[in-house]
C-alpha cells in the first residue's frame, strides 16, 4: 500500500501499489473526485470525494466520526444505472462528508477481478483518516517529500537511457536537475536540524503552476549561505550552469564542439556525486541528533521489500510510460 494525501492535507488514505492517481494524467483538476485505476488490465475506477458542510449539505442520518481516526463506519449502497455498476460508500467526519465510488461496466460486475478490486477498496477505506487542521501541514510535507524523492529516482531512468544512447545533452540536463534536487533536499533537512522540527519547507520541494519559480542559481546561493557547500563547489556549479546553458541554448550559434559535451558530462557527474555525499552526511546528522525526517529510521538502513515496491509504484506513477514500468 502507498499513501495518497489530499492536496490541502484534509485526508490521507492508503491505496494499492498497482493503482495510480488518474486526475493529473488525463488533465482533470486536482480536486474531487480523486480517481484511481490499475496501471495494467484496468477493469474499473475507484473515486473518493470530500466536501465540507459549507460546500455540501450533510445527511444527518450518516454516522459522524472524529478526526485522525481510521476504520471509519460507512453506509454502503449502489447507484442504479443501465450501463455501469456503481458501488457507493458514505460517511461523515466532523464537518466533512466523504463519498467513495467504485465504477465498472454492468457486464463485468460479477467477474472475479472486480470482486478482488472491491476487496482492495474495502481495505483502502479502512485506512482513510480525516486530519485535524493541526496535522495537515505536516501531512502535506511528508507527501511532497516522498513525491520529490520518487521523481529523483525516476530521473535515473532518463539518465541511464541518455548514457546508453550517448545522448550527452540529455545527460547534462538530467544531471543538473539531480544536483538541484540533492541541494533542495539538503536545504530542507538542514532547516529541520536548525529549527529542531519535522516540518518541511515545501517551497523547495514543489512548484505549482502559479508559484514563482526558485531558480537553480538561487538554490546554489542558499546552499552556500548555509555552508552546505563550499566556495569551490559553488564556483563549479556556476561554471557548469553557464556551460549547460551554452549547450542547450547556443550549441548551433557558438563554436562548442560535440566532443566537449562528454567532458561536460563527466564534470557534472563528478560534482553530482560530491553533492550526493554532502546530502548523505546531513541525513546521518539528523539520525544521530534524532531531529527531522530521519530522527527515527537510519537513512542508509537496508530497505524492506515492501518499501522497495512502494518506491517502484511511486516511480511508475511519475513516469506513466511503459518503457520504464517496474513490475511489482
Q: What is the pLDDT of residues 124-174, one digit of tens each?
A: 999 999 999 999 999 999 999 999 999 999 999 999 999 999 999 999 999
Residues 151 and 117 grouped into a single domain: no
- Let me know if 247 is exposed, middle or buried by CB neighbors in 10 A (0-12, 13-18, 19+): buried
Q: How confident is the model at residue 233 (pLDDT cuts 50, 70, 90)?
A: very high
Residues 112 and 142 grouped into a single domain: no
Residues 252 and 197 grouped into a single domain: yes
Boundary-marking domain end, from 70, 105, 131: 131
Boundary-marking domain end, from 108, 131, 154: 131
Residues 121 and 227 grouped into a single domain: no
C-alpha cell at 288: 544521530
% helix, strand, coil for the chain, step of 5:
50, 15, 35
Domains identified in the chain, total number:
2
Residue 230, pLDDT > 90, answer yes
Residue 82, pLDDT > 90, answer no
Answer for the pair 35, 23: CB distance below 8 angstroms, yes or no. Answer: yes
Answer for the pair 18, 41: CB distance below 8 angstroms, yes or no. Answer: no
Where residue 104 sits, what CATH number does that domain have? 3.40.1000.10
Boundary-marking domain end, from 131, 162, 191: 131
Query: Which residues, 6+ apart, have CB-to-CB distance to 265 below 8 Å?
Result: 168, 171, 172, 175
Answer for the pair 94, 122: CB distance below 8 angstroms, yes or no. Answer: no
Residues 125 and 152 grouped into a single domain: no
> How many other β-carbons are positioned within 10 Å of the β-carbon of residue 111?
14
Residues 189 and 290 grouped into a single domain: yes
Residues 248 and 199 grouped into a single domain: yes
pLDDT in tens, 200-220: 999 999 988 888 889 999 999
Residue 278 domain boundaries: 134-324
CA distances to 3, 93, 97, 114 from 64, rounded to whole Å, are 24, 5, 9, 29
Residues 78 and 64 grouped into a single domain: yes
Residues 108 and 159 grouped into a single domain: no
Please give the backbone phi and psi of residue 90, each rounded to the nearest 5 degrees, phi first: -140, 145
Note if the pTM is more than 0.85.
yes
Grid cell 480525516 is found at 130
pLDDT in tens, 250-300: 999 999 999 999 999 999 999 999 999 999 999 999 999 999 999 999 999
Q: What is the CA radius of gyration of the chain?
A: 23
Residues 115 and 172 grouped into a single domain: no
Residue 8 DSSP SS3 = coil
C-alpha cell at 41: 488490465
pLDDT of residue 210: 83
Residues 183 and 72 grouped into a single domain: no
pLDDT of residue 208: 84
pLDDT of residue 152: 98
C-alpha cell at 195: 529549527
Residues 174 and 311 grouped into a single domain: yes
Amino acid at each position: 500500500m502507498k499513501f495518497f494525501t489530499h492536496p490541502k492535507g484534509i485526508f490521507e488514505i492508503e491505496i494499492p501499489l498497482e493503482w495510480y492517481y488518474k486526475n493529473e494524467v488525463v488533465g482533470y483538476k486536482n480536486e474531487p473526485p480523486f480517481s484511481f485505476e490499475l496501471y495494467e488490465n484496468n477493469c474499473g475506477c475507484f473515486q473518493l470525494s470530500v466536501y465540507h458542510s459549507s460546500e455540501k449539505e450533510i445527511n444527518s442520518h450518516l454516522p459522524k466520526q472524529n478526526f485522525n481516526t481510521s476504520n471509519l463506519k460507512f453506509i454502503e449502497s449502489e447507484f442504479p444505472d443501465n450501463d455501469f455498476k456503481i458501488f457507493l460508500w458514505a460517511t461523515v467526519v466532523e464537518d466533512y462528508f466523504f463519498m467513495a465510488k467504485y465504477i465498472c461496466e454492468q457486464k463485468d460486475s460479477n467477474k472475479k477481478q472486480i470482486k478482488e478490486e472491491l476487496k482492495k477498496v474495502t481495505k483502502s477505506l479502512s485506512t482513510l483518516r480525516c486530519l485535524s487542521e493541526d496535522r495537515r501541514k505536516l501531512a502535506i510535507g511528508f507527501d511532497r517529500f516522498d513525491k520529490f524523492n520518487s521523481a529523483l529516482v525516476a530521473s535515473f531512468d532518463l539518465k541511464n537511457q541518455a548514457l546508453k544512447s550517448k545522448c550527452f545533452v540529455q545527460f547534462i540536463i538530467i544531471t543538473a536537475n539531480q544536483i538541484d534536487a540533492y541541494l533542495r533536499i539538503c536545504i530542507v533537512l538542514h532547516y529541520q536540524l536548525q529549527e529542531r522540527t519535522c516540518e518541511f519547507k515545501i517551497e523547495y520541494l514543489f512548484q505549482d503552476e502559479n508559484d514563482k519559480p526558485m531558480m537553480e542559481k538561487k538554490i546554489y546561493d542558499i546552499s552556500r549561505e548555509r555552508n552546505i557547500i563550499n566556495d569551490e563547489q559553488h564556483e563549479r556549479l556556476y561554471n557548469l550552469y553557464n556551460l549547460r546553458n551554452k549547450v542547450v541554448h547556443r550549441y548551433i550559434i557558438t563554436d562548442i564542439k560535440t566532443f566537449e559535451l562528454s567532458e561536460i558530462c563527466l564534470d557534472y557527474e563528478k560534482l553530482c556525486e560530491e553533492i550526493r555525499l554532502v546530502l548523505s552526511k546531513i541525513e546521518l546528522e539528523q539520525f544521530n541528533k534524532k531531529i527531522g525526517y530521519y530522527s527515527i529510521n537510519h537513512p542508509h538502513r537496508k530497505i524492506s521489500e515492501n518499501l522497495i515496491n512502494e518506491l517502484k509504484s511511486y516511480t511508475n506513477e511519475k513516469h506513466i510510460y511503459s518503457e520504464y514500468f517496474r513490475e511489482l
